Structure 1
């Protein structure tokens, strides 16, 4: 096992019951007079601890809170067959009610979390002071004609639900992380492995509900998403890595021009590109990302 990353700012683990489900949150720093908390929400198959490196790179002391979405990290699973985006919005709303009921927050989301954050900021514009989206591109618009095939796929997968294979050691988990992202340093991968997985009798199991792997029976409706994006009132920072992840993920199914047209509908939007970074830009360039975030929030 390589040397393990040593955090500069230790986080505190807490548990909150949100909408009847036990959620795990990580806290850094203390509340400061006149400064809103910075709330961070992670992407699909990730955990709140994933933000540790960028929190360590922040120059100014501030309160930062990261949530493990339901069915990820140390938050409880639902026991259901699917995870729905409206539930993420409901959990985020309940989290802000619990942590900052009387003042808006600064909200940052990565990937799936960025998509949730954008929709939430349009639904509850008064709750957000500043908004940061890290590579939350959204998805291609899906025709209603695709519904029967998607529903059939979901029903078929319910008969043989997915599973997540265990790993023999934390080193194997860390190696998996580095295969996913070769830019991830070995010491950071070793630190993340212990938050990304837990030891069981069968080995080290990822901290994620396998139900997240099921086909989602709900279609992505671009018009509904953009109706939310157009209502965002907070100044918004869009950040992506210099690697073109949109094309890598979707190819011609979701052209860059389509995405840029969507961004153009967001009032008060600023854009930034981090060099030598891919989709996990908070792992690839935490110092550069922290600098961009702090400059924007100030």
Structure 2
């Protein structure tokens, strides 16, 4: 009887070891191979600048309080408070020591689209790679080329201030296993190139869902509530529902949305406020067809 019990315990222990090893393997950082980023040629820096504004890089990576051309000095330093602790935005200027000046395209691309740092470590999803995962290799290459044209800064951002267990990057592999994906966020009621472009901008480059979609206790998007509004990550008020069924933007026409993104004025003659101010200023720098594509997409997602 004792021998049988021992065999059972050993079998269970073996299953646990195999299960733990499988889980560890499944949650390892998974960068794309070097070949994925090869052969892209010289970057188109004009398109890179378009990607730069669509991606809202200055909103987080410019030094706090910077204005005008100083916003293009991506020195980092902004403190992002969250339920998991405080994240300090890094320097992504071309400085080879403090910034990303010594990075390869593959390292940059894997950070942007896979959430893997240059040393092979998991990155925290306070950096919205869960949205940027939808970026095309061309746009990644063009953005990287454009960033190299910007001024360098030697500023070194402080380390993140995260309590245990959130300071354990190994746990991010489990988070990615649960929530990381590069697929469509919601079914669409319309198709065509314009809506597809809007989907790419809203779900990918513009990472609109990072603020406008509610999250579960683990920080993943709540299923079936894409762009349905969420608590303000800055701590006050609420980020609005921007689906077609909302009481605010849901009543706007596509032209109203386009005007808002261009000018910052609503159909009710109100003006943009809060953290959306900088987002709108970024969107105003895009070609008109991009703002029109965003509006078309926002009318094509499900009403909640």
| TM category, shorter | under 0.3
Alignment TM-score, normalising by the size of structure 1: 0.28
TM-score (norm 2): 0.28
Q: Which structure is higher in strand share?
A: 1
Query: Which has the higher relative contact order, 1 or 2, with Cα contacts under 8 A spaced 6 or more apart?
Result: 1
- Structure with higher Rg: it is 2
